[in-house]
Amino acid sequence: MNTSTRNLSKLKKAARIILVGPPGCGKGTQSGRLLDHFKLTPISSGDLLRENVRNRTPLGIQAETVMRSGGLVQDSLMVKLIVGELSKRGWVETRGNLTSGICLTGPLSVIGGPITPRASDSPTASFLLDGFPRTKNQAQSLDSEVAMNLVVNLDVPHDVILDRIANRLVHEPSGRVYNMTWNKPKNPGVDDVTGEPLTRRPDDCPETFSKRLKNYAEATGPLLEHYDKAGVLWTVSGSTSDEITPQLDAEILKRFG
């Protein structure tokens, strides 16, 4: 039995994990590996936004300018997008009381205080969030929908990150990530799975990227503090994804295996 197959059967309870880390730290790369190792289905806020931009949805049109400038999309839009997606996939119970046109969950006001949301403890209800929440506000909104039980803070040195972004290529439709030095596609310029062309992300140019790093630095302190207080924060450090992956796998097995 290989490692991946062995690990799949080792999740004994639901893992609801958030990956937090600066742009380019390897969140997308780790998500792909966790899907492979534990069948942990990821939702990437950035990928979802880019899909909305491609499909010219009202949300995508609104988010496009902000993303291109390296800013953060409005909290209310992000919560609507992600909670809507969680609800669509059946990972949170739908109560449909938050927004018109989309079936969302939301905090219930009742005499005696709010009802704490309950989530299934079955390992099949496991999932992974990449890039959401990114602000304390978003975290508080998510708390009222579902209790996340592990927040992974990916701590990667800045100089490493800058070098990676300069070499990143993506397959936009799937979110698959390549690197021209480290993780080249089998055939230059095309996706390994579909053979479709790879592109550079428009927000990876140096000027926009430095804005993204600055925004990250500003929003992250309060976010990490929030999850530290909740007792679910775990930090992992490393210069490469290969250093981080075995530590992350071991932590997940320790907590949920």
Return binding residues for AMP: 45, 50, 71-73, 131-134, 138, 201, 212
Among residues 28 and 106, whose Cβ is nearest to Mg ion? 28
Q: Is the dihedral of CA 116, 121, 124, 127 positive or negative?
A: positive
Residue 49 contact among Mg ion, ligand AP5, none, beta carbon within 5 to 8 Å by kind: ligand AP5
Structural tokens at position 168: 């990143």
Cβ-in-10-Å burial (0-12, 13-18, 19+) of 212 comes to buried
Counting contacts by CB under 6 A, is residue 242 touching ligand AP5?
A: yes
Counting contacts by CB under 6 A, is residue 27 touching ligand AP5?
A: yes
176-179/168-171 β-pairing: antiparallel
Binding mask 28-67 for ligand AP5 (x = CB under 6 A): xx---------------xx--x----------------xx
Residues 6+ apart with CB under 8 A from 65: none
Q: Which stretch binds Mg ion (CB under 5 A): 22-30, 149-157, 204-212, 242-250?
A: 22-30
Which whole-number Å values give the CA distances from 164 to 18, 42, 154, 156, 204, in the listed order? Answer: 22, 22, 15, 11, 10
Strands (DSSP E) found in 69-213: 127-130, 150-155, 168-171, 176-179
Q: Judged by CB under 6 A, which of 8, 35, 72, 205 binds ligand AP5? A: 72
Among residues 122 and 187, whose Cβ is nearest to ligand AP5? 187
Q: Judged by CB under 6 A, which of 134, 136, 171, 226 binds ligand AP5? A: 134
* Least distance CB 73 / ligand AP5 (angstroms): 4
Task: Give the CA-trace dihedral at 221, 20, 130, 63, to 10 degrees.
Answer: 30
Q: What CA–CA distance (Å, rounded) separates 46 from 124?
A: 24
127-130/16-20 β-pairing: parallel
Counting contacts by CB under 5 A, is residue 238 touching Mg ion?
A: no
Binding mask 156-195 for ligand AP5 (x = CB under 6 A): --------x--xx--------xxx--xx------------
Q: What CA–CA distance (Å, rounded) separates 30 from 158?
A: 18
Interface with ligand AP5 (CB under 6 A), residue total 36
Whether residue 102 contacts residue 80, with contact meaning beta carbons closer than 8 Å, is answered with yes
Counting contacts by CB under 5 A, is residue 26 touching Mg ion?
A: no
Binding stretches for ligand AP5 (CB under 6 A): 21, 23-29, 45-46, 49, 66-67, 70-73, 78, 131-134, 138, 164, 167-168, 177-179, 182-183, 203, 212, 240-242
Binding stretches for Mg ion (CB under 5 A): 28
